[in-house]
Each structure stands twice: as structure tokens, then as C-alpha cells.
Structure 1
Amino acid sequence: MIRCKRRFRRHSPEGGWGYADREVAMTHTVAASRAPASAHPSEIADLAGPVATEVGCALYDVQWRGGTLVVLASAMAGGAIGVEALGRLSRRLSAALDAADVIEGRYVLEVSSPGLERSLHRPEHFAGAVGEQVVIRTSESPRRRIVGEILESDPSGVSVRVEEISSGEQGHAQAGPDEIGQILTVPFDDIAKARTTFEWGPRPRRKPGSRSTPHSKSDPRSKPGRQGR
């Protein structure tokens, strides 16, 4: 077993980006090219969940990304999770996986937080994102791209206040003004992909029924009241 430290970018609550150490446990410096077939994410989640609870974390998701086993965890009460807690989880989980011997072959264990913009896969993910902005892509024809705020989530689907919506394979056909601001219920069976989005600074206020327009950035060299010569 080889244990190493990698550096990664981490956003601080005070603003800006900084660097911190994240411990990553791995069985070899060269990762396997694909996920070992013997270990299903749900099986690993059953093992990782109690370990996360023991170190004061909440397991968010377990994913295979090629030969990398990605374990995402958050703080118990929600919000940002500290680097120290992620390090404890990485060490404890690495030992637990070795003891259980549920994964055959080489793999990389990566333990991190879901991030400000995170993927939503399960009903509990959507329930935890109530009040947040999301982008949802539907699977049924015509496929739609929906941007809005999650208002409610239940075992069958999610309710979203629509801010932007488009349809078609490439998402070029825009919805009518009457759909903007409306509450749309999307069944989980119709969701192909979903993730939260994070906007820096205050969001512009729009009247119900108005279209969403792209944000424009002013020239930083210009000042109010200054006339060009």
C-alpha cells in the first residue's frame, strides 16, 4: 500500500482559491484503466457510510471514474468539510477496504467533498439541494435543459421554479415567456443528468414571465459618468 499526498484547489469561505493537502490512498502509483468488476458502488457505500459517520462525516456518493474510486463526503450538519476530516476518512476507509477485501486489482482511492457544483443522482441528493439552483437535462423526447431553483423534492420527482428552459437535441429551441417563472415537476425517471450551479455575487432580479438574458460584463476601464473622447 502506498500513501501519498496530492495538492488540490480548495475554495475558502472568505473568498478566493487556495491550496491544501488532500491525502489519497492507493494500492499502486499506476491506476487500473477501468473499475474492478468485483466492487459495485452500492457495496462500497455500505462499507463507507459507517466509516464516515465514525469520523464525523456524512457520505454523499461513491463513484467509479475509470480506475479511481471517488468517495464524496460532507460535514454532518451540511456545509463545507475540513481537510483534516477528509484526511481521517481517507485513512480509515483505506484500512477498511483492505480489511474487507472487496476490490480486486489496482485502484486509486480519492476522498473529497462534493464541491459547490455537485452532481445529483439520488432522491436524497435532490432533497439536500432544495433552495439551490440546478441544471437538469431530461431524457424523454423532446429533451429539455431546465435551469431553476429546486422548491421541493419527494421520492417520485422534483419541483423546479423555471428560470431558463430550452428543448431539442442541442437545446437551441427556447421556451415561451409563459414558461419562465412557472413551477415544473420533473419525475426522477425523466432526469438524465442534474447538477447544482453556483453564481458568484447577487443574482439579478427578474419579474415573473420575463425572459432570461445573458449577463453582460462592462468594460473595467469605463466609469459612470465618464464620456469617451
Structure 2
Amino acid sequence: MAKVEKIANDVAAAQGCVLYDIEFVGLGKGRTLRLFIDREEEGAISIEDCTNVSRGLSEILDADEEMIPGGEYNLEVSTPGLDRHLKKPWHFKKAIGKKVYIKTTKSLESMGVEDKKWKSAKTVEEVLESADEQGVRFVVKDVEIKIPYAMIDRAKLVFEYTKGQKK
């Protein structure tokens, strides 16, 4: 799968996109290779971007049937969406200043949080203050919450509808 990911990364880059995530799901003829592409900087991914990445990757994968063992599969290329999952440090860095939902593997107390409101919590849904190579940081009413990536079970961006947005 690492070889497919590298090729997908190269194909996305050739189209001016970045490979956000890749997953291979399902069994038998129902297997699906999913690619999620994004822009490195702000900007929207178009249907044309998805089509171009799909075509480019299909040509390479179809030329080498050994690349994906087991034969048939479906290829899907899309954006990560408004409520995108956050997995890699650069995903979190791109989400700084936005509301993020994080579910941790242990209570926040095990990460040094002493505030009684937060110490038994295993979820945080707040604006992300910062992110680096070790983890993320929130500041909620003067309470600092630092969560290392190793303690994050799941994380996603929280889409917030604000008045005045186009429908």
C-alpha cells in the first residue's frame, strides 16, 4: 500500500493537489481504494481535479496489475469534506483557529490537565490554538489543554454554519 500511496501522492502533486488521505476498504469485488485530495494552501478542489487525479492514477494502476493484489477494486477520488478527519500533524496545523473535535484514548487528567471541569473528560470540541509535531493545544477559559498525537483516538474538523454564508 505504501507504493500506491507514493504514486497517488505524485499524481495528486502533478495536478496541483496534495494527497490528504488514502484508505482501502471492503472485501472481494466490493473493495474500494479511496483517495482524498486537497490544496496545500487555501482553495477549493474541483470535480475536474478529482477526475484528473482519478484518470492519472487509474492509468498507472491498470498498467501494473500486481500493484493492487486480488484483482478488482473501485477507485474513488474526492475531497476530505467540511468535517474532515484529522490524522497527520499537517492536518492539525491546517486546522489552527478552527473548531476541532478530539476523542482521546485516556482522560485529560493523564495528560496533565488539573482543572476539575476537564480532568475526567475524554473529548474536546473547541477552537484549536496550536499544533506542532508532538501534539495539539487548546486554551479554554484560561485552561491549557495539551494532547499528544499518540493519545488521540479520533479527530475531525467541526463544520460551523455561520449567518450570512451562502446556502
TM-score per shorter chain, which class? Answer: 0.7 to 0.9
Q: Residue 184 of structure 1 aligns to a residue in which SS?
A: strand
Map of 2:19 onto structure 1: 59
Letter in 1 for 2:59: A
Deviations 1:58-79 (A, max 9, x none): 1111112322111000134333
Map of 2:67 onto structure 1: 102
Return the offset for 1:183: 2.6
Letter in 2 for 1:154: D
Q: Which has the higher strand share?
A: 1
Tell me how many residue pairs correspond in the alignment: 145
Map of 1:144 onto structure 2: 122
TM-score normalised by L of structure 1: 0.59
Match of 2:132 among 141, 151, 154: 154
Match of 2:143 among 178, 182, 205: 182
User: In percent, how many aligned pairs have the same letter?
Assistant: 36
Contact 1:133 1:198 in 2 (8 A): yes
Determine the C-alpha separation between the residues in 2 that align with 1:148 and 1:57: 28
Map of 1:169 onto structure 2: none
Structure with the greater alpha carbon radius of gyration:
1
Q: Residue 103 of structure 1 aligns to a residue in which SS?
A: coil
Determine the C-alpha separation between the residues in 1 that align with 2:155 and 2:49: 27
Map of 1:199 onto structure 2: 160
TM-score normalised by L of structure 2: 0.80
> Where do residues 1-229 of structure 1 align in structure 2 (5 Å cutoff)?
40=1, 42-66=2-26, 67-100=31-64, 101-104=66-69, 105-141=71-107, 144-162=122-140, 180=141, 182-201=143-162
Return the offset for 1:117: 0.6
Determine the C-alpha separation between the residues in 2 that align with 1:87 and 1:76: 18
Q: Which has the higher helix share?
A: 2
Return the offset for 1:143: 6.0
Return the offset for 1:161: 3.0
Structure 1 runs of 4+ aligned residues shifted over 6 Å read none
Determine the C-alpha separation between the residues in 2 that align with 1:185 and 1:119: 19
Contact 1:44 1:62 in 2 (8 A): no
Seen in structure 2, the aligned counterparts of structure 1 residues 115 and 181 have a Cα distance that, compared at 3 Å, is farther
Determine the C-alpha separation between the residues in 2 that align with 1:59 and 1:131: 22
* RMSD over equivalenced CA pairs, Å: 1.7
> Unaligned 5+ residue runs, structure 2?
108-119
Contact 1:137 1:143 in 2 (8 A): no
